[in-house]
Structure 1
Amino acid sequence: MDALDLLLSRRSMAKLTSPAPEGKILENIIQAGLRAPDHGNLTPWRFVIAQGSGLQKLSDILVKAAVAEQSDESVVTKLKNAPFRAPMVITVIAKVTPHEKVPALEQHLSAGCAVQAMQMAAVAQGFQGIWRSGNWMFHPDVHHAFKLEGEDEIVGFLYLGTPTGSAMAPPKRALGDFVEFL
């Protein structure tokens, strides 16, 4: 698949199984994330990989936040199981450096670009993924567990693994609904 086909056919896949990317393939995924736009060379990203016992640690972090909020048992159970929907979850963090020319928002967007690049690198190498988010990535207990400071934010959880089926066709969208010219 060439690069343009990859971008034009991009679809997330939630049903993932083992194996997860490893070795050179995983290195390529991370390297793709490191190529995200980076105004000022601030490298505003951190990638925390959870697999194996790390998935349980991620589960524990999410459950702790839900319990702190006195969430319903159904919410706690959902969060407890969430990391196990894939054999690997990469928590992508915008690591913000105060800078007079590069605002925090731009650094957050850069980290978001890293997620997209990493997902595309995974697909290009025969794996699949889905970028997940949710209110829990903003919870103070989750921030504490990931050692976030200042304007740092988790921009998403990138679930990666081997697809268990085929991706749906991308929806058809009329360019005129989204594009205008000045």
Structure 2
Amino acid sequence: MPDTNQAAIDFLLTRRSRPAKMLRAPAPDDEALRVLLTAAARSPDHGKLEPWRFVVLRGAALARLAEAAAARAIELGRPDEDIAKARAPFDDSPLCVAVIESPRDSDKVPAIEQTYSAGAVCLSLLNAALASGWGASWISGWVSHDRAFVERTLSLEPQERVAGLIHIGTATATPPDRPRPDLDAITTWMSE
């Protein structure tokens, strides 16, 4: 039987995100955030391509993105509730790390594996923040997939896209646990 890191297993079995609307200052300072980013960068990365990068958003940058999200929603003629929903996470959280999928040309590593790696980075950053005692949430939403928005606000290159927006701060409340998947319904056991 292998040595078990029971604390890590217990954390993973009970982890819960904290919605951005439940996050307030303080957020990790640069030194603490560097530890979280280092943990996230240890995610699986076939070929060591590092097909992702981070954009750290605080203070005025978050206010700028909130305004830009609202302006883009208005520009697209979206309803008022979409305008409010687009800007809210940037208004609410004190820190956001945009994980940018930045694929590399490779004959050995298919693009889909690079996408999976970027997703793994998002989850690792989220879990590192939660394990460190911060409140955190992985959010995307329509603004993170809107080319005009991400190119204007985050300076994304044409081949790049937002894998996730990881909001981090101090949780003001613990949300109720949500229903979890029925493991028997989603698992096939094969021994032959």
Distance 1:7 1:105, change over 3 A: same
Structure 2 residue aligned with 1:47: 54
| Superposition deviation, residue 50 in structure 1 | 1.1
- Give the counterpart letter for 1:123 in structure 2: L
Q: Which amino acid aligns with 1:62?
A: A
Maintained 8 Å contact 1:59/1:81: yes
- Report which stretch shifted further, 146-155 or 132-141: 146-155
Distance 1:107 1:64, change over 3 A: farther
Equivalent position of 1:2 in the other structure:
7
Amino acid at match of 1:119: L
Counterpart for residue 153 of structure 1: 161
| Alpha-carbon displacement from aligned partner over 1:94-140 (angstroms, at most 9, x marks no partner) | 01112122122211111111111111111111101111111221112
d(CA) in 2 for partners of 1:121, 1:69: 36
Q: Which runs of 5+ in 1 are unaligned?
A: none
Read off the aligned partner of 1:3 and give its amino acid letter: A
- Matching residue of 2:143: 136
Equivalent of 2:183, from 172, 175, 178?
A: 175
Corresponding residue for residue 112 of structure 1: 119
Unaligned runs of 5+ in 2: 1-5
Structure 2 residue matching 1:159: 3-state secondary structure: strand
TM-score with structure 2 setting the length: 0.85
Larger radius of gyration: 2
Q: Residue 123 of structure 1 corresponds to which residue in structure 2?
A: 130
CA contact (8 A) 1:64 1:141 kept: no
CA RMSD, 1 decimal: 1.9
Equivalent residue in structure 1 for 2:105, among 98, 122, 130: 98
Taking a change above 3 Å as real, the CA distance of residues 38 and 56 of structure 1, as seen in their structure-2 partners, is same
Structure 2: which amino acid aligns with 1:161? G
Q: Distance in 1 between matches of 2:158 and 2:83?
A: 28
Matched residue, 2:16:
11
Asked if the contact 2:66–2:86 (Cα under 8 Å) also holds between the matched residues in 1, the reply is yes
Shift of residue 31 of structure 1? 0.5
- 1:27 matched to which residue of 2? 34
The TM-score, its normalising length taken from structure 1, stands at 0.89
Query: Following TM superposition, by how much is the alpha carbon of 1:181 offset from its aligned partner in structure 2, in angstroms?
Result: 2.1
Find the aligned partners of 1:99 and 1:32 in 2 and give their Cα distance: 25
- Aligned pairs, how many? 182
Q: Is the 8 A contact 1:61 1:141 kept in 2?
A: no
Shift of 1:157: 0.9
Structure 1 residue aligned with 2:87: 80
What's the % identity of the aligned pairs?
A: 31
